[in-house]
Amino acid sequence: MFSTFRNAWKTEDLRKKMLFTLFIIIVFRVGSVITVPFIDGEALRSSIANATTAASSFFNYLAVLTGGGLDYGAIFAMSVTPYINASIILNLLTVAIPALERLAKEGEEGQKKIAQITRYATVILALIQGASYYFYLRNERFLSNRNWFAAVVIVACLTAGSAIVMWLGEQIDAKGIGNGISILLFSGILARAPQAVRSLTAYWAYGRQIAVVVITIVFLLTIAFIVWMTNAERRIPIQYAKRVVGRKMYGGQNTHLPIKVNMSGVMPIIFASSILAIPTMIVTFMGTSRANTFWYKFFSLFSPTGLLYSILYLLFIIGFAYFYVTIQYNTVEIANNLRKNSGAIPGIRPGKPTSDFISRILSRITLLGALFLSVIAILPIIIGNVSGIAIQLGGTSILIVVGVALETVQSIESQMMMRHYKGFLD
């Protein structure tokens, strides 16, 4: 990986793209620590640091997606969350609404229209989330001014911050090395790494050396496991029949159809975390003053460190993995494309038998990938309960960091390959 970046640095245009991406990341991180007017940042950080277990877990989950900006009440407090939510909603609606499905199949022009709709949806969601965040700050008395003018300024700043983050991600796509939103999410997670190191150092000073060593070893093994599973794929052999067109013969070659073990990426974890974060969010907003009420006790059952949460987390991840693969992978269309191009799977008849065969393979691979995601997501919860050490960087964070790093390296390698390809005349 380091050799790839070193070689890319030697190419002038790639070096400019890398420097531009680094500049955007710096702007993003600066905006993640500038507090919005009328918010008492010190009181907010102190409250989050001294929060209860449920509230602390909820804010740690939000910090994964916001890069810690929520702790400061910063301009970029909501970071990429509105954009991610808008993208997920648009992906789901593309399957349900025929008009959006037609746009998705119209090529580049259709993708531009969907991207424009996603931008509008991002601003709307940012406005809703900004208003919700304002009411939380007002109820917890983290505001220096509680009149209508302060409300307008806070909500407007948070909404504008989300729009700017979306624009920064698009600039990385256009002028940087690509994967803009993913890289911003990646940088936000890495910004919390020093905090995780300080936490482990503190536990080491308190005489928990064995637990710290075990957690470090498990962390390294988890990274290696994620890299291995991310690159793993099931290859279905494909054989193309020979056909004569004019005086030339085409086909007659053997290839394969690759199916990634983890096709859905981190999306099932984000889906499951978003849903299961709702009870914890309700408990956090209710406050400890209502600890004896029925609803407080009911929603407390879904604590991120509890057994019920882990079971539901596992089931939701598996369910969302199958759902996401179903809407992204059309086996009937794949079978039809193979038949149109005179391709077939050895021993399988074209048409519906091919579609059924690919569906069976896809179902098994999806289950394996879902179990992989479940292990990565639940392992930090188990380690935290056994060792008594709060894990700052959970499985979701590690999965995102490793996945984005691999995608970025592959993107740079492909750009280098295009620039060093000599062509058939050389």
Pairing mode, if any, of strands 243-245 and 248-250? antiparallel
More confident residue, 118 or 274: 118
* The pLDDT of residue 342: 76
* The pLDDT of residue 425: 44
What does pTM read for this prediction?
0.79
- pLDDT above 90 for 124: yes
Q: Which residues contact 275 (CB under 8 A, 6 or more apart)?
A: 316
Tokens encoding 174: 């256009």
CA distance 258 to 260: 6
Q: Tell the residue number behind the tokens 């929060």, with chain if given.
A: 51
10 Å Cβ neighbour count for 48? 19
Domains, the chain, in order of start with CATH, read 1-192 (1.10.3370.10), 202-392 (1.10.3370.10)
Residues 209-233: what's their mean pLDDT? Answer: 83
Least confident span in 170-179, 289-298, 394-403: 289-298
Q: Which residues contact 405 (CB under 8 A, 6 or more apart)?
A: 1, 186
CA distance 127 to 315: 32
Q: Let me know: does 376 contact 226? Beta carbons within 8 Å.
A: yes
Distances (CA, A) of 426 to 276, 413, 417, 418, 421: 58, 21, 16, 15, 10
Residues 211-226: what's their mean pLDDT? Answer: 83
The residue count of the chain comes to 426
CA distance 387 to 204: 13
Mean per-residue pLDDT over the chain, rounded: 80
CA distance 220 to 215: 9
Q: What kind and span of H or E run contains 249? A: strand 248-250
Query: Pick from 148, 152, 157, 92: which is nearest to 118 by CA?
Result: 92
Task: Dump pLDDT digits (tens) for 89-114.
Answer: 887 788 778 888 888 777 778 888 88
Residues 374-396: what's their mean pLDDT? Answer: 73
Task: Dump pLDDT digits (tens) for 35-89.
Answer: 888 888 777 777 766 655 555 555 666 666 666 677 778 888 888 888 888 887 8
* The pLDDT of residue 65: 65
pLDDT category, 285, cuts 50, 70, 90? Answer: low
CA distance 95 to 327: 7
Residues 348-370: what's their mean pLDDT? Answer: 88
* The pLDDT of residue 20: 93
